[in-house]
Structure formats: structure tokens, C-alpha cells
Amino acid sequence: MAGRTGDRSGGRTTGAKPGGAKAPGAKSGGRARAPAAATAAPDDAPDATPGAHPGERIAKVIARAGRASRRDAERLIAEGAVRVNGKLIDSPALNVLPSDIITVAGQPLAAPEPARLWLYHKPAGLVTTARDEEGRPTVFDNLPEGMPRVVSVGRLDLNSEGLLLLTNDGGLKRRLELPATGWLRKYRVRVKGAPDDATLDPLRRGITVEGERFQPMQVTIDRQQGANAWLTVGLREGRNREIRRALGAVGLIVNRLIRISFGPFRLGDLAEGAVEEVRARMLRDQLGPEFAAAEAPRKTAQRLRTRTPEDATDAEPTARGATRQPATGGPARPPRPPRPRRPRPDGR
């Protein structure tokens, strides 16, 4: 079945106005002039006008199959590398159906993968971007081999560390980033100085920094450690460097920031640089039945460090709904001896 082309002018043509006046740009016959080129839809744009053209945007389908990001898929289309049912396409303004045959650079597109989610313990010193113009190391340069193409849910800046969620699905990414989700994000924060409750009260009430209003934060003082204090900060929005800027506005300099949880997902004792995959059942319980298709258990991606074949067979379940691979370097766990058989009352 041929692909469905997207709307070129908002799903309708503009004819003459009532009373005989022509619409701007309309020819004498009343037909609207088509735009010179279609504009690529943004990542959060709907796939189609309801009732107009069924299917999904082709760039989204390519991204779901793990071939490229949605932006890179649009670039591949512009370069003439994508065909639908054998026909070369030159615009991402195209909706396709599951029955359509799509090829990218001559290779058939793989079937879309179910949505998956990983917990990653980001070290400080990595930027959360696919390509850095300054050549700094990125999160995606340091993921384990065998990981599929993933995107981050939100960001952690260069000097921040801790829990970063990764997913292979753009729709899941956007859903988790929406403020409407209402999930609390918690951070352990070390600041220089000895703050008291009066110092932190503006953050609890909501603070405006450089004309930008931040929502009220949950802030507790955990302990004083020499010239520094440890705080726990919780917030429900993800503004750029929000915690650093808010604390700076009350005279506190952040010298360490660790995200410890994102909604129901916790960093726990996940080692720095390690990755765990969230079980499909937990995704379904937290996000709804649309993720139930990923119910089959999967093997967790390897950690960043090289692991031995013995380690690969010794995965342990964790309380966070993820499969944990043991750290490298320790001896393989010996097999548990068989439990002795208890004799039955009848002697058999």
C-alpha cells in the first residue's frame, strides 16, 4: 500500500473568500498556491491531523526502528537516502502505515522495538549530548557496547552526576519529561558554607532568578561537613541548571550535585558508569498498559567495564525492577550445592 503524504498547507486548500474576494496568493481559478517546500515537523508535533491521514510520520518510524534519531532521519530524507514502497521521498511530511516498505540507504528498515528504559549512573565530566562542538566526552560515547541507539530523558550538566534515564523511544522520552507527569526528582547537593532554614526558605516558597520563576522546592539540611553542608533538594520541573542558580541566588555555591532519584526510579547503589534496564513490568505499572508489549525479560546491557564470560551468566535481581550485572573483577559465584532429599514417611 502506498504511503500517505502529509498535508502541504494545513490539511486544506484555501479558496475564494465569501463575497467573491480572493484569498491571498490564490489564482484566478480559486486554487491556492502550494508552498515551495514542506517544512519538517518538530519532534513533539502530532503525527497527523485527526481524520486526515492515518499512520505515523516517517521520521518517527525510522527513529523507533533504531536507525537514526528523528532529526537525523529528516536529514537522511533530505539527502535522498529514504524510499517508501520503492519511491524516493524528499520531505519528512509523510505519514506511513505498518504495511509500507521503507528502505534507508538501500537497507530495509527493521521492525520498531518496544519502548525500553535504562538507569545510567552518569559520572561528572561527561556532557549529555550526542555530539559536542567542543569535542568534550559525551554520555553516549561512554555507554556499554551492545546498547541500542538511545536518547536521554532530560539532561545532567557537565559537572553533575548521578541518575540519568535513557530510552530508545522518543514518545516515552517526551512523556517522562512533561511537567504534567508530576514526578519528584531528588538530588544530594553539597554547598560551600553553613546554611540555615532562613537561608533556604526562599527556595521552599519559590524563587525568581534573572527574571525566571522557579517552582517551590523541597529542601532539607542533612549535615554539616567542615566548610561544606549536604542538602537534599527535590523538584518537579527540569529547568537549565535550576538548583545551582537557585542556591547561587541565596549566596550558596554548589560544589557537588548528584541526582539520586527520578520519580519511582532510584540510583541506589548502581556503580558509577554502570547501566541497568528497567523491567517491562515496572514500566507497565508506572506508565500504563501501552508498555505491556515489552513484557518479555531482556538481558541487561553490559557495564562500561570489560566483563568476563563468567560474570555475564551471574545477573542478580534488584529491588528497583531492573536486572543488575555484578561488578567485574571478582571471582565467579560457585554453584549452590543440591539440597539433600528428605526421606518420605513410607520409606521411598
Which residues are annotated as catalytic? 157
Task: Check: CB of residue 254 under 8 Å from CB of residue 243.
Answer: yes
Helix axes 197-205, 242-249, angle to 10 degrees: 130
Distance of CA 278 to the CA centre of its chain: 13
Q: From start to end of 169-239, where are the E strands?
A: 185-192, 207-209, 212-214, 218-225, 228-235
User: Distance between alpha carbon 147 and the CA centroid of its chain, in Å?
Assistant: 14
Residue 86 neighbours by CB distance under 10 Å: 8
Q: In the structure grid, which three cell numbers stand for residue 104, read together? A: 534507508
Q: Which residues contact 259 (CB under 8 A, 6 or more apart)?
A: 156, 160, 161, 162, 163, 164, 185, 186, 187, 267
Helices H, strands E: what count in the chain? Answer: 7, 20
**Dihedral sign from CA coordinates of 301, 304, 308, 310:** negative
Distance CA 235, CA 34 (A): 47
Torsion of CA 78, 83, 84, 88, to 10 degrees: 70
| All three cell numbers of 324 | 543488575
- What distance in Å separates the CA atoms of residue 332 and residue 223, rounded to the nearest whole number? 39
Rounded to 5°, the CA angle 279-280-285 comes to 105
